[in-house]
Amino acid sequence: MMGVSEIAKSYEIIIVARFIVGICAGLSSNVVPMYIGELAPKNLRGALGIIPQLFITIGILSAQVLGIRNILGNSTGWTLMLGLTSIPALVELLLLPFFPESPRYMLIQRGDEKTALRALQRLRGKEDVDAELSEMRLEDQSEKAEGRLSVLSLLSQRSLRWQLISIVVMNMGQQLSGVNAIYYYADSIYASAGVKQDVIQYVTVGTGAVNVFMTIAAVFIVEAVGRRVLLLCGFGICCVACVLLTVALNFQESVTWMSYGSIACVIIYVIGHAIGPSPIPTVVTTEMFRQSARPAAFMVAGSVHWLSNFTVGLVFPFLERGLGSYSFIIFAFICLVTLIYIWLVVPETKNKTFLENCQMFAKRNKVEIKLGDGDLPLTEGKESLEDAARVTTF
């Protein structure tokens, strides 16, 4: 629809098409990380959970490259650039029917253990998956003991109170930390830093490339250093970068080299956001909740994410007009508050089962996680630690 909008001489087609693409983006941003998190073994859940964010950054970089004026960012190529989004959509439509359903979904929510077993064996490439299946049965027992959760009851569930607050804080911090102010208005930041108009598009592409590179780095280090460390480091770097950017923008007219400092601050900010605040919240959202509560949790997290995204895009131009460069101090403060909350409340969730993570939060929520009849111990099952250690991100 977007590709034929110019031929049809109708801007209304673009509006309708963008609305449809928005529905797809909203669904995918929640369902894809949730699906991958349920498929992944626990020792690779973090690395695989970052992959959707990695491809988002690759998509942003691809759009930035294609949007260069000498390629498709001109009066004759823009419809083709918009129409190219149909290609990945078509590839998805062709491949998704061959994907297995989530074994956790089939066993815990549908009660179909045979299909869950077949899917798990196919995903792991081996017949012996008893250890993982036992862990899923244990999670199923705990959920039967407490009852199934609806979307509305999630908000009033005491056993999930701090998990819910945590995902709201992380998603608000992710978006209100200024990432979209940086991306949406990078061109004006570079222009105010003294970059020539015809060079800005290449600097923007360079920033996108840094984003991709650092997200790739996050994939390979998340299982080694953990989710919590990356979140703390990421928000810390963003906080410092926002403060330094404010200083640089204020002194660039009086100090000639300060304009390069402004660009460096933007790049440092992108590095900080790419290693933690951008990819990690969806990973942690997956790991904090059990099967029946996870879809509702992603609904809340996704709603907060996009509402905060919309708020920054709407409010930042007015902040910039009223406060100028000092508007980034607000983002620095939000980064600092989020960092303090994560430091005090959010535990490390790497290499733990979903039930183990819920038990960590149970103490803070002042509840007890029940396992139902015939309680099973939280053990590694038949898999030895040596076998698990051999499977790494690399």
> How many CA atoms does the CB half-sphere of 295 hold within 13 Å?
11
pTM: 0.86
Statement: residue 146 has pLDDT above 80: no
Asked if 181 and 331 touch (Cβ cutoff 8 Å), the reply is yes
Q: What is the pLDDT of residues 320-364, one digit of tens each?
A: 888 888 889 999 999 999 999 999 999 999 888 888 888 888 888
Report residue 353: phi and psi, to 5°: -75, 165
Report residue 348: phi and psi, to 5°: -75, 130
Q: What is the pLDDT of residues 200-237, one digit of tens each?
A: 888 889 999 999 999 999 999 999 999 999 999 999 99
SS3 at position 272: helix
Q: Identify the weakest region by mean pLDDT among 157-161, 164-168, 310-314, 375-379.
A: 375-379
Q: What is the pLDDT of residues 237-290, one digit of tens each?
A: 999 999 998 898 888 777 777 778 888 898 999 999 999 999 999 999 999 988
Asked if 391 and 41 touch (Cβ cutoff 8 Å), the reply is yes
| Percentage of residues in the chain having pLDDT higher than 70 | 90
Which tokens belong to 304?
Answer: 């907060």
Statement: residue 384 has pLDDT above 50: no
Statement: residue 159 has pLDDT above 50: yes
> What domains sit in the chain, N to C, each tagged with a CATH number?
2-99+147-365 (1.20.1250.20)
